[in-house]
Amino acid sequence: MQIKINEKNLTITSQNPLTINEIVDLLENFQFTIQKLNTSQNNYEIEVNKPIKNKELFTKILKNALLGKIPKKCKLYYFYQLDFSLKEINFLRALAIYQSQIMKFSYEFIINTYIKYSSFIKNPSLEIDTDNQSEHQVLLIFREIKKNIIKTNLEKNKETIAFKIDIKNFKHLLKGINPNIESFVYHNDFCGVHLRMSKISRGGIRYSQRVDFREEIKDLMTTQQYKNAIIIPNGAKGGFFIFDENPSREKIKKCYSLYIDALLDLVDFEYGEDKDFYFVVAADKGTSDFSDIANEIAIKRGYFFKDAFASGGKNGYSHKKLGITALGALTSANRHFLEINKNIFKDEISVVGVGSMRGDVFGNGMLMNENFKLIAAISSKEIFIDPNPDIKKSFLERKRLFENSLSWKHYEKKALSKGAAIFDRSKKTQKISNEIQKLINHDSQIIQTDELIKKLLKLKVDMLYFGAIGTYVKASEEINELISDKQNADIRIDANEIKAFCVCEGANLAMTNKARVEYSQKGRINLDAIDNSAGVNISDYEVNLKLINADVLKYTDIVIKKVLTQNIMQPLRISLDEKLSEEDIKEFANTLQNVETFNEVFKTFDSTKPLRPILAILLLYTKLFIKEKIDFFDEKYLKEYFPLEIDYEKHILKKEIAKTVITNKVVNLYGLKILKNFSTQKIINILILNEVLNLEK
């Protein structure tokens, strides 16, 4: 495309035809009125009502808008009139979108505020001069963002804009829990965030379909922070949102690639104490098969982590093939059954679940016991109900679905019990059999689909198994509309309505914190970060082995055994700590006041009773607390982490790994009581005593 300008006249020559309305609307956005317009063979001669100033910038903006590289109606013309450069304009647009994610104000309001106070935007050191409280907040946060930007990729002149912020310096001005380090990526097709609690942090990258994607990522980062208590890095989470409503898989991959590449622009590519060198990612919702894409980008860019950058790729541990998350979750939930002399992996256990046999956590989970009696399952598109399942037939059929990646609608009808059915969730109502009516205690053949799902979640079974994304349970006191997962608002139930003996959270955020506390007063539950920790644990092993060029696949069995140790020990420790008094809980909570994010997370529980979810969160934050406090280093603890023949001498995280091993050891053995009269010397004494008595055996 070529654009020529002479005073009030401009000529546009385009390879592809442009619509007259497109040209008129765009020029009107620049506050020009068209006097004449002649067209011939993709050539457009236009005369406007006044001379065109700043021709070079005007040409760049007009050309980018006509080519679709920047939105045609985003008030860029105002910034053009205020003599901002094209780079400044694009950066301000990115900042405005970012601010709309961290504040309650719309992008439109933020942009209008930028325009109204353009002098301040050019020079944020000026005094904020407005009586409007909302405008004042926008300008205040804008100044803090600009002041705390650590690094950008603007000098690279790429199609993505990325910047990294030291957000801990102003997160007291924001609501709720926030990260300490935050990166934002903007592109004409998408935008995304990456949130970290410290320089050494890790977590998955997801494709978010929520307009308030940062809120979703922030909630998950909080969970990741205490889930990561058992591994080396702190919590992190990333995600990107595509502006198209229904992007193709190829479009999602392209946006993911651009997002990852832009984030790497913000990383230090050399190791050092003062460097921000540690950046690793993992698969998550919508990106489960993208690890190799990320690793290819990292290798091409020369990032020294190479294929340790993204766990789970072709040279790493496939969570789905190993079934590690489900195995860890069921191992964790087995504590509930062991205490009533049953075994989750052998005995007949009745189950209602959320998920599909195609899924990793649900599919693998429902194959780990041939005697699981699956009564019902709710997936994103279907509802499976088998009132009186034949245990052997149903296991074989679930196995067939999993191995062939099939949904519930492909379930062989001959394997179903009388009255069983598979319903399409897109229908508003369902016609149910007498057997299903009896199962859910409903006196009509017709039932609303949402009501059917709710009744299934309330069934009296041995285990309610969450194996897919979504928040399905709130506390009775919580307001449904305020729960962040809007998609499942119509099927969400109250915790006091659950009749299952126990809940296993194979997926994150299946229940709110308050819901866990409410349910735990009559049922058995741990915490999502306790139940599904095995996935993040094995990924961390993979990264740490790859960083010393070890063949990770060679050590699969050893690593799985090490990972499952935490899924055995942590629920056991919670059971032992259930004997604590309320006074102990208060004392231990007070000790943890200075742990990052603890206060915000803990107060959502609103209880100091010795209930399992309360004890679980205390256990994990005790580990975070002790990892921070340990100030000694002994390489013998590295031997406990790595397979015996591994040479770990040059590992860049030797100190962090040893501290994590010590932390898990002493807290799993001694529980929350370690916080009483806490000192580093107390940890050393415990380690010595443990070696003498060999308590772990």
Three-state SS for 614-661 is HHHHHHHHHHHHHHHHCCCCCCHHHHHHCCCCCCCCCCCCHHHHHHHH
**Cα distance between residue 648 and residue 545, in whole Å:** 9
How many Å separate Cα 280 from the centre of its chain?
A: 14
Helix H or strand E encompassing 191: strand 190-196
Helix H or strand E encompassing 207: strand 201-208
Concatenated DSSP letters for 317-357? --HHHHTHHHHHHHHHHHHHHHTTT--TTTS-EEEEEES-T
Structure tokens at 295: 């690793």
Concatenated DSSP letters for 149-183? EEEE-GGG--SSEEEEEEGGGTGGGSSS---SEEE
Sequence-ordered alpha helix ranges (H) in 547-579? 556-577
Give the contacts of 11 (CB within 8 A, at least 6 positions apart). Answer: 2, 3, 4, 43, 44, 45, 46
Query: 157 — phi, psi (to 5°)?
Result: 55, 45
Three-state SS for 396-464 is HHHHHHHHCCCCHHHCCHHHCCCCCEEEECCCCEEECCHHHHHHHCCCCCEEEHHHHHHHHHCCCCCEE
Helix H or strand E encompassing 395: helix 391-403
Give the contacts of 233 (CB within 8 A, at least 6 positions apart). Answer: 198, 200, 201, 202, 278, 280, 540, 656
- Whether 414 is a known active-site residue: answer no
**Cα distance between residue 655 and residue 548, in whole Å:** 15
In this structure, the chain runs to a length of 697
Concatenated DSSP letters for 525-539? ---HHHHTHHHHHHH
**Cα distance between residue 171 and residue 354, in whole Å:** 36
Question: Is the distance from CB of 124 to CB of 142 less than 8 angstroms?
Answer: yes
Strand order in the sheet with 280-282: 149-152, 161-166, 181-186, 190-196, 234-242, 201-208, 280-282
How many Å separate Cα 413 from the centre of its chain?
A: 37
Other Cβ atoms closer than 10 A to 575: 18
Query: 90 — phi, psi (to 5°)?
Result: -65, -40
Sequence-ordered alpha helix ranges (H) in 191-350? 213-227, 249-264, 291-301, 319-322, 324-338
Of 218, 227, 237, 474, which is the active-site residue?
A: 237
| Residue indicated by tokens 């499942």 | 488
Q: Give catalytic residue positions.
A: 237
